[in-house]
Amino acid sequence: MDQIISIKPLLAVLVSLLIIPMLISSSDKPNVREGWTFTAGIIKFLIVASMLPLVLQGKEIVLTLFEIAPGASIAFKVDGLGMLFALVASSLWIVTSMYSIGYMRTLKEHGQTRFASFFALALSATIGVAFSANLLTLYLFYEILSLATYPLVVHHQDKKSKISGRRYLTFILGTSVAFVLPAMLYCYHVTGTLEFTTAGIFAPGQMSKPALTVLLLMFVFGFAKAGIMPFHSWLPAAMVAPTPVSALLHAVAVVKVGVFSIVRVLTGIFGVDLLAQFNLGIIVATIAAITILLSSCIAMSQDELKRRLAFSTISQLSYIIFGVALLTPMGLLGGVIHIAMHAFGKITLFFCAGAIYVATGKKYISQMKGLGKTMPITFAAFFIGALGVIGLPPSGGFYSKWYLLIGTLESEYKFLMAILLVSSFLNAFYFLPIVYQGFFSKSDEEPSNKAETSGATTIKEAPLWCVVPLVITAIISVVLFFYPDIFVNLVKIGLGL
């Protein structure tokens, strides 16, 4: 494969990092500050997009920064997989910045500069993960991301966020240090390299099956950002954060980084062939399947909208891992492409949840009856987003679910298809009633509370800054149904399918 040395991956990572001093220096001029954020977001997207043609031609863009030890360096490599993830993250950052202006200003949140700075830092780390050429670089950006997100999660600085923050760190930092670090070092100790290659880094016969299994499990559970059970409970806890954080980070960036890392490790460190040879895929697939079903069930019982979305996210993340763990071409394709498809769908849902909160102050699903009439755009977008997550046309999510189903059929464990179908029903079961109630039931609050009534009568759509982004993401979600080629091609190139 052709390799081109270019500084662009580094630039893409650094843009949002370099913007932080600007943000801090203009902390008392909110408009200037937001201007900087947008500039950075657009530049970042352009840099990422400018590498797209090369990647689509089947070339890899590489850059080695520091050699830490032989075979372990801090290096970037842009391939199809990374490109896919970077495109999603960087494009959604622009939209989310827009959204967070509306959200944060309407709610008059404190510490907006801090918020914007750490958001930018988190994005740098996300792109860094996407473009990592080896496990060391990936781990580095993974940790930076964990730490950069902490101040965002505990943004409210109250007791509740303190407890959530603690749980967040315990799971994310704890697992990565306790599991990933030793596993990574052990890999390096055995093989002397951490480079991602499609063939994997282990020579045939170098490792026994039990050792490989332990390593694999350490990686899968170690990247707790992927929300595999039993290391999932940080995600619902992290929902105390302001909605833009939940939307971009906990639907797209952070959680997808976890999943992306696992995918990288499965495909780049172990290699599909090795996993198939030792029949290790089924172990991961089983864990993922359990997570899918359990979290879908839990999601149904949640009344707080953001928590329901969180559990939905947990189950959808496991789809991705599930797909990759099937180790069949279609399964891999479906899983990876779900990163993108789910991102657009889920972010729309989060935006809607935030918009509802901004406009009405309501967090619980039971309070949202009849809101669709006063907030039609929001609820329409919610509907599209829900379709995307469930996997129904006309939304991009359809493709990923479709490929996943084919993937299960290709594999030797055909019964796994049942899990997918059941969980899709469950998805539909916990999303569609919200939309239905929003449009078709009457709000039962109005007579009960006078103060609320006066509020309720004045309910309108959320501010423009909030509504426009969710419309954009909803539209993209639909567009992806008609033009999924870019992402499909990227995945095919990335995985060499």
Partner 1 sequence: MINTNYPAILVLSPLLAALMCSIFSWCAKKLCYPTAIISLGISLYASIEVLMQVMDTGTIQYRMAGWAPPMGIEYRIDLLNAIVLLLVISIALINLVASYQSVNQEIGKKSNTFYAIYLLFVTGLVGITATGDLFNLYVLLEITSLTSYAQIAMGDKDRGPLASLNYVFIGVIGASFYLLGVGYIYIMTGSLNMVDVASLLPSLHGSSAVLVAFIFCMLGIWIKMALFPLHVWLPNAYTYAPTVVSRILAPLMTKVMVYVMIRLMITVFGFEYLFEKLNLAEAVVWLATIAILAGAIMAMAQKDLKKMLTYIIVCEIGYMVGGAWLGNELGMTGAILHIVNDALMTFALFLALGNIVYKLKSVHFDNLKGLFGKMPWTMAGFVLGAFSIIGIPPTCGFFSKWYLILGAFEKGAYHFAGALIISSLLCAVLFFRIFEIGFFNNEHDEHNTITMSEAPVSMLIPLGLVSLSLIITGLYSSSIVNKIILPFLQ
Q: Is 304 helix (H, G, I), strand (E, B) or coil?
A: strand
Residue 268 neighbours by CB distance under 10 Å: 25
Minimum separation from the CB atom of position 215 to partner 1 (A): 13
Q: With CB under 8 A, what is the number of residues at the site for partner 1?
A: 33
What one-character DSSP code corresponds to residue 204?
T
162 belongs to the binding site for partner 1 (CB under 8 A): yes
> Residue from 43, 181, 282, 428 that binds partner 1 (CB under 8 A)?
181
139 belongs to the binding site for partner 1 (CB under 8 A): yes
Q: CA-to-CA distance for 248 and 418, rounded, in angstroms? A: 31
CB 176 within 8 A of CB 265: no
Closest CB to partner 1 among residues 163, 203: 163
140 belongs to the binding site for partner 1 (CB under 8 A): yes
Q: Give the distance from CA 455 to its chain's centroid.
A: 35
7 belongs to the binding site for partner 1 (CB under 8 A): no
Q: CA-to-CA distance for 63 and 110, rounded, in angstroms? A: 39
Stretch that binds partner 1, among 177-185, 260-268, 287-295, 460-468 (CB under 8 A): 177-185
157: left (phi over 0), alpha (psi -120 to 50) or beta: left
Minimum separation from the CB atom of position 269 to partner 1 (A): 17
User: In terms of residues, how long is the chain?
Assistant: 497
In the range 70-109, which residues lie near partner 1 by CB under 8 A?
72-74
> Residue from 177, 214, 417, 422 that binds partner 1 (CB under 8 A)?
177
> Residue from 9, 151, 227, 334 that binds partner 1 (CB under 8 A)?
151
169 belongs to the binding site for partner 1 (CB under 8 A): yes
392: phi then psi, degrees, rounded to nearest 5: -115, 145
433: phi then psi, degrees, rounded to nearest 5: -55, -35
196: left (phi over 0), alpha (psi -120 to 50) or beta: beta
Minimum separation from the CB atom of position 182 to partner 1 (A): 6
CB 464 within 8 A of CB 371: no
Minimum separation from the CB atom of position 161 to partner 1 (A): 8
Minimum separation from the CB atom of position 323 to partner 1 (A): 30
What one-character DSSP code corresponds to residue 442?
P
Minimum separation from the CB atom of position 278 to partner 1 (A): 22
Minimum separation from the CB atom of position 159 to partner 1 (A): 7
Minimum separation from the CB atom of position 183 to partner 1 (A): 11
52-74 burial, b at 16+ Cβ within 10 Å, e below that, comes to bebbeeebbbbbeeeeeeeebbb
Stretch that binds partner 1, among 160-168, 266-274, 292-300, 319-327 (CB under 8 A): 160-168
Q: CA-to-CA distance for 197 and 206, rounded, in angstroms? A: 16
Stretch that binds partner 1, among 99-107, 137-145, 215-223, 410-418 (CB under 8 A): 137-145
**Facing residues of 74 across strands?**
66
Nearest to 369 by CA among 422, 305, 434: 434
Residue 483 neighbours by CB distance under 10 Å: 10
∠ CA 228-129-81, rounded to 5°: 85
Nearest to 378 by CA among 390, 367, 386: 386
Minimum separation from the CB atom of position 104 to partner 1 (A): 18
What is the secondary structure of 212-227 as a DSSP string?
Answer: HHHHHHHHHHH-GGG-
User: What is the contact mask toward partner 1 in residues 39 to 68, using x (rule: CB under 8 A)?
Assistant: --------------------------xxxx
Closest CB to partner 1 among residues 74, 299: 74
Q: Give the distance from CA 313 to its chain's centroid.
A: 8
157 belongs to the binding site for partner 1 (CB under 8 A): yes
Closest CB to partner 1 among residues 177, 432: 177
Stretch that binds partner 1, among 90-98, 175-183, 215-223, 416-424 (CB under 8 A): 175-183
Q: Please give the single-letter amino acid code of residue 209.
A: K
Tokens of 242: 């302001």
Q: CA-to-CA distance for 87 and 193, rounded, in angstroms? A: 28
Stretch that binds partner 1, among 14-22, 141-149, 313-321, 375-383 (CB under 8 A): 141-149
160 belongs to the binding site for partner 1 (CB under 8 A): no
147 belongs to the binding site for partner 1 (CB under 8 A): yes
Stretch that binds partner 1, among 53-61, 165-173, 286-294, 386-394 (CB under 8 A): 165-173
297 belongs to the binding site for partner 1 (CB under 8 A): no
Binding site for partner 1 (CB under 8 A): 65-69, 72-74, 136, 139-140, 143-144, 147, 151, 154, 157-159, 162, 165-166, 169, 173-174, 177-178, 181-182, 185-186, 188-189
